[in-house]
Amino acid sequence: MKKLKIFAFAAAAVLFSGIVSSCVQDLDVTPIDDDTVLPEDVLDSQEAFRQLLAKCYQGLAVSASDGPESAPDINGVDGGYGQYLRALFNMQELTTDVVACCWNDGGLPDLHNITWNASNPFVLSMYYRIFFQISLCNEFIRRSNATDIAGYDLKNEYIAEARALRLLSYYHAIDMFGNVPFSTENNSVGSTGPEQIKRADLFDWIVTEAEDLLAGSDLAEPGQNEYGRCDKGFVMMILAKMYLNAEVWTGTAMYAECAEVCEDIIEAYPALHDKYSDLFCADNHLWTVNTTYGGDEIIFAVNQDSDLIRSYGATNFLIFGSIGGEMSAADYGISSGWSGLSLTGTFTSKFEPNDARALFYKGAYEQYIDQLRRESDGWSNGWKSVKFTNVNHDGTVEVTGFVDTDFPLFRTADAYLMYAECAARGAADQAKGQQYLDAVRSRAGVGSISLTLDNIIDERGRELYYEGMRRQDLIRFGLFTTDDYLWEFKGGVQQGQAVDDHFNLFPLTAGDVNANGNLDQNPGY
């Protein structure tokens, strides 16, 4: 188990209770009850604001401040599948060629089938998690700006971190939902809800905010913040992603700009860790680049800890959900398996036999999925991913009911591949792009391949699967909805079929559209 050196997450709940209660409710109401403690009564020191900032980080890691069995932060959003990273996985991986889930929860099969609607509870969970997180960050920034308490010497640094975290959620919002409700610390959120911003305008705001954080804020330099906290490398990764997807999100390609940012990232974080599997094990915090551990590839990780940071989402879901049937849960450091997630044969067939990233349990299971529903014998379809485990990098195991494995949100290898893609698109140096592509493959133990777009999209799949970006990549390459690329049960049939292009965006939740007259639903829903 790692020793956390930054925040006591649970304590933050006391400070944040009553500050943020919904995404649309007025946040500045004074309660009638004289016994109610107001935020002003407790936000009286730098340590209090530090704990409040902890809640902004906590929103990525868990669903509730008091542990996985307590009431979730958002009423009506399940504390298990509604956890931020689990919801992100459901949206970005479960909807693609990578993985399917055999559980029959209402609305869950619709994700892999790409047949969801505006009432899908899993889409709703992602939507509200994003905007709850934005509300947390807005309120932290607003409260920090308004205070003049003595001793709050790190105000500018803390505000910059909250802005960076908010930037992450707006990046997820523009990717998945397009034209979305928009508010910052400068907006008074009233009963009618926030205004809707056009996707292209949100793109401009995110880019401007990112550039300001990189040039004009007190955010820590790359690798110079504590373990688990944001720095400028975190923001550079978001900015690179914005430019990488600009053609989809605005209609104007910006691959040259993406390549330029990627070069800055690689200059700041030049190394690839020597062993791929180490990046996804129980002590993977050792390879997070920061002043606490001084690692070599993980630019930012969302922390998990079997004692202190527990949820039924994040890496707990990725590990428990992939283990079951004939597999031994203890071999992977967990107390039991949930028997849910299976890789598609379309995806696993992309790997060469000696690829170190092909971290699959095959056993007696069929490679290709021939049905999505759980059978009486448990779980017979598809190979299982053991990319994420709760086993230390040296092979030692402590079997636990929750995992210690952090979720690597941003890695240097992704910057290598983003640059290689820009080069393949003619917007960056081809020789350097080939060099970066070869470096990623060399670490995996496989040889050089030519710098083509077909090779790049497959290589991104092999390197980055389960890390929350596959759907975005397939859309950028024009493969998500079309019949140019099919996988098991795409479109709801075993052999796969094309789906309507409106599925390139998820719907705004029906409840929010009905409650907020400022919002127009995405086309097709």
pLDDT digits (tens, 9 = 90+) for 259-285: 999 999 999 999 999 999 999 999 999
With H, G, I as helix, E, B as strand and everything else as coil, classify residue 352.
Answer: coil
Tokens of 66: 């008091």
Residue 130's DSSP bridge partners are: none
Mention every residue, 6+ apart, whose C-beta is less than 8 A from residue 355: 444, 445, 446, 462
Strand partners, 301: 408
In terms of Cβ atoms closer than 10 Å to its own Cβ (0-12, 13-18, 19+), residue 6 is middle
CB-based contacts of 348, cutoff 8 Å, min separation 6? 358, 360, 367, 383
Task: State which amino acid sits at residue 492.
Answer: G
Note whether residue 242 is domain-resident: yes
**Residues paired with residue 305 on neighbouring β-strands, in sequence order:** 309
* 422, part of any domain: yes
Identify which of 259, 125, 129, 134 has the alpha carbon closest to the alpha carbon of residue 187: 134
For residue 343, what are the β-bridge partners? 99
Neighbours of 52 (CB within 10 A): 24
Predicted TM-score of the model (pTM): 0.94
Whether 336 maps to a domain, the answer reads no
Distance separating alpha carbons of residues 212 and 214, to the nearest angstrom: 5
Query: What are the residue ranges of helices labelled H in 38-120?
Result: 39-42, 46-61, 84-92, 109-113
Is the separation of the CB atoms in 369 and 489 below 8 Å? yes
Inside any domain, residue 96: yes
Sign of CA dihedral 68, 69, 70, 73: positive
Enter the tokens of residue 232: 């400028």
Q: What letter does residue 313 receive in the DSSP assignment?
A: S
The answer to the question of residue 145 being in a domain is yes
Structure tokens at 25: 């409710």
Q: How far apart are CA 510 and CA 439, in angstroms?
A: 46
Q: Please, which residues have CB within 8 angstroms of residue 331's CB and are 6 or more apart in sequence?
A: 391, 397
Does residue 401 lie in a domain region? Answer: no
| Strand, coil or helix: 309 | strand
pLDDT number for residue 39: 63
Q: SS3 for 508?
A: coil
Instruction: Compute φ and ψ for 51, nearest 5 degrees.
Output: -70, -35
Please choose, from the candidates 522, 511, 508, the residue with its C-alpha nearest in 3D space to the C-alpha of residue 75: 511
The 10 Å CB-count burial string (b at 16+, else e) for 124-150 is bbbbbbbbbbbbbbbbbbbbbeeeeee
Please report the pLDDT score of residue 407 as a whole number. Answer: 98
Find out whether 32 and 18 touch, Cβ atoms under 8 Å.
no
Question: What are the backbone dihedrals phi and psi of residue 95, each rounded to the nearest 5 degrees, phi first?
Answer: -85, 5
The CA distance from 170 to 77, in Å, is 20
Residue 324 counted as domain residue = no
Q: Alpha-carbon distance 394 to 340, whole Å?
A: 27
Residue 481 lies in a domain: yes
Q: What are the angstrom distances between the C-alpha of 11 and each of 16, 23, 120?
A: 9, 22, 33
How far is 429 from 419, CA to CA, in rounded Å? 9
Q: In the chain, what's the furthest Cα-to-Cα distance? A: 70
* Full DSSP string of 391-455: B-TTS-B--BSS----EEEEEHHHHHHHHHHHHHTTSS-HHHHHHHHHHHHHHTT-------HHH
Q: For residues 221 and 224, what is the distance between their CA atoms, to the nearest angstrom?
A: 5
What pLDDT, in 10s, does the model give residues 132-185? 999 999 999 999 999 999 999 999 999 999 999 999 999 999 999 999 999 999
Which segments of the chain have a pLDDT < 50? 3-37, 376-378
DSSP 8-class letter at 296: S
CB 460 within 8 A of CB 474: no
Task: Note the residue count of the chain.
Answer: 525
Question: How many domains, the chain?
Answer: 1
- The CATH number that applies at residue 454 is 1.25.40.390
Residues whose CB falls within 8 Å of the CB of residue 385, separated by 6 or more in sequence, listed in order: 99, 318, 322, 341, 343, 359, 360, 361, 465, 466
DSSP class per residue in 224-261: -S-TT---HHHHHHHHHHHHHTHHHHHSS--HHHHHHH
Q: Would you say 197 and 179 are in contact if contact means Cβ atoms under 8 Å apart?
A: yes
Give the residue numbers spanning the domain of 140. 9-308+407-515
